[in-house]
Chains A and B, each alone.
Chain A
Amino acid sequence: MNSIKLNIQETYIKEYLALQKRSDGRGLTGFRDASLNINSIHTADGSSVIKIGNTAVVCGIKAELGIPKAESPDVGYLLVNVELPSLCYKKIRPGIPCDEAMETTSFLNEVCNNCKILDLQQLCICVDKLVWILSCDIYCLNYDGSVLDACFVALLSALQTVKLPEVKYDKETDEINVIEDYKFLKLNCLPVASTFGVFNDKYILADPTEEEEQLCISKFSVVTDGNLLFSLHKPGGNYIKDNQIQNCVKYAKIRAKTVHELIKSVQ
């Protein structure tokens, strides 16, 4: 390992971790405070802004009408994309999405499918002809670690604000009528992600900041609704010990409950 990085790591352990403290004053397993704001973007059909510590993420959902896939004519689309624009972090260059954006996007979509966050059948207007397409775009505004966690909260709370009007489709004439009778979407579950930084085989940091992520040897994310697990994601990196996994799951379940309360409180 880079000798400079090693040096910083050692100092960090000495100055903070050995005292069960972190540079921002949190305990090792403490999560940062989160604040949530919904429906702030009027051009979107559903939106939310979440700040976890300094990490800020905004999610906007646009509902459009389109033709379903031939192989699944009775389900609509739920498309989740995470954008890490160059404005949120100095290491990101403008242009095509960076690898991390794609990995986060893929992971979010995978978890949404796993836990059937939304019954996609409710997005069907007319089988094989017309369905709703929900494009959920999550923009990171400030990249200060644990962006994945923020993306989940943003997505959930934005989905909960989406109101779709009633649409009538006439099969004979292909005519579409929109009736302004708006209804909320029904969500099946509320998955909450908690990211942990594995500092070494001794220390685990909950909800690491960008600075801490740089020092950690690997990342570990737990997605849970407080009860069932939806994903235990560790994309390579250095190893994690069994008891560390158990602790992470325990803290993630507690975290899920507090996040649920946060989401509830703004509605």
Chain B
Amino acid sequence: MNEEFLKCRLGFIGNSDGSAYVSQCKTTVAVSVVGPFEPKSSKCLYDRGTVDVTFRRKTGSITVHDKMLEGIMQSTCEEALIVEQYPRTSIAVTVQEMQDRGNLLATCLNASCLALMDSGISMHHLFAAISCAITDSEEIILNPDELQINSSVAYFTLVFSSSESRQLLTSHTTGKFSHSIYLQCMDKCFAATREVFSFYENMIKKQLIYC
């Protein structure tokens, strides 16, 4: 994992409270965080804040499948935030796809995490998503490109938290696979997330120079 692979700009959307522009390989997404703000009374919970993730395709319309991705992002983000600190409020996260060349879900999740960090909203933990593909010969490719995904027999997106112990937050898989190869992928992806977290740290360092 290096700067070549993950690129990020923080706080580029002036009107939002936090934003991140992330490109991973060639897949690019923009995430903005607004809030906490006062929501409609129907969404208002007395003891915690609500998190609302909206996923937008560049074409504007989204499909049933995108709705599932949106759900995954929402519950992953919600779990990471200390929502109890923001009662009766809502936090809106908008994920805009700019270019999709594979690993979309992982990029979206990492970008959301960076945008949430930028917004200064209190978090329990950070999260990092890693995708990996398994070839016919049972080879594991981390962060595969579009071609490798299409020719793979299985393809996973795994999300781990930044806690020192191994905590799997989200798992999304496609294709057929055996249990043992899944465990191998978990090990590899978990190791890879540590690099993502150090990338996060570097981003914050850069950002704070001006502070």
A and B touch in the complex (CB under 8 A): yes
Is B182 close to A, CB under 8 A? yes
Q: Are B169 and A232 in contact (CB under 8 A)?
A: no
Given the known interface contacts A2-B47, A228-B178, A230-B176, the answer about A239 and B161 at a Cβ–Cβ threshold of 8 Å is yes
Q: Which residues of B contact A233 (CB under 8 A)?
A: 171-173
Q: Are A239 and B167 in contact (CB under 8 A)?
A: yes
Shortest CB-to-CB span from B136 to chain A, Å, is: 14
Q: Are A115 and B176 in contact (CB under 8 A)?
A: yes
Per-residue CB contact flags for chain B residues 141-154 toward chain A (1 = under 8 Å, else 0) read 00000000000000
Given the known interface contacts A2-B47, A99-B67, the answer about A229 and B75 at a Cβ–Cβ threshold of 8 Å is no
Interface size class of B (residues with CB under 8 A): 35 or more
How many residues of A are in contact with the other chain, CB < 8 A? Answer: 34
- Rounded to whole angstroms, the CA-CA distance of A107 and B172 in the bound complex is 10
Given the known interface contacts A229-B182, A242-B168, the answer about A236 and B173 at a Cβ–Cβ threshold of 8 Å is no
Is A1 close to B, CB under 8 A? yes
Is A114 close to B, CB under 8 A? yes
Is A103 close to B, CB under 8 A? yes
Q: Are A3 and B174 in contact (CB under 8 A)?
A: no
* A-B pair number, CB within 8 angstroms: 97
Q: Are B169 and A229 in contact (CB under 8 A)?
A: no
Interface of A is mostly: mixed
Is A105 close to B, CB under 8 A? yes
Is A142 close to B, CB under 8 A? no
Q: Are B161 and A236 in contact (CB under 8 A)?
A: no
Which residues 213-243 of A have a CB within 8 angstroms of B? Answer: 218, 220, 228-242
Shortest CB-to-CB span from A236 to chain B, Å, is: 3
Q: Which residues of B contact A236 (CB under 8 A)?
A: 71-79, 159, 169-170
Q: Which residues of B contact A235 (CB under 8 A)?
A: 68, 71-72, 75-76, 170, 172
- Rounded to whole angstroms, the CA-CA distance of A99 and B62 in the bound complex is 13
- Rounded to whole angstroms, the CA-CA distance of A228 and B170 in the bound complex is 20
Is B177 close to A, CB under 8 A? yes
Shortest CB-to-CB span from B109 to chain A, Å, is: 9
- Rounded to whole angstroms, the CA-CA distance of A105 and B63 in the bound complex is 11
Q: Which residues of A contact B166 (CB under 8 A)?
A: 241-242
Nearest opposing residue in chain A for B65, CB measure: A106
Is A10 close to B, CB under 8 A? no
Which residues 91-135 of B have a CB within 8 angstroms of A? Answer: none
Top 7 A-B pairs, shortest CB-CB distance: A236-B75, A239-B167, A236-B76, A106-B68, A234-B171, A102-B67, A235-B72
Interface residues of A (CB under 8 A from B): 1-3, 99, 102-103, 105-107, 109-110, 113-115, 218, 220, 228-242, 245-246, 249
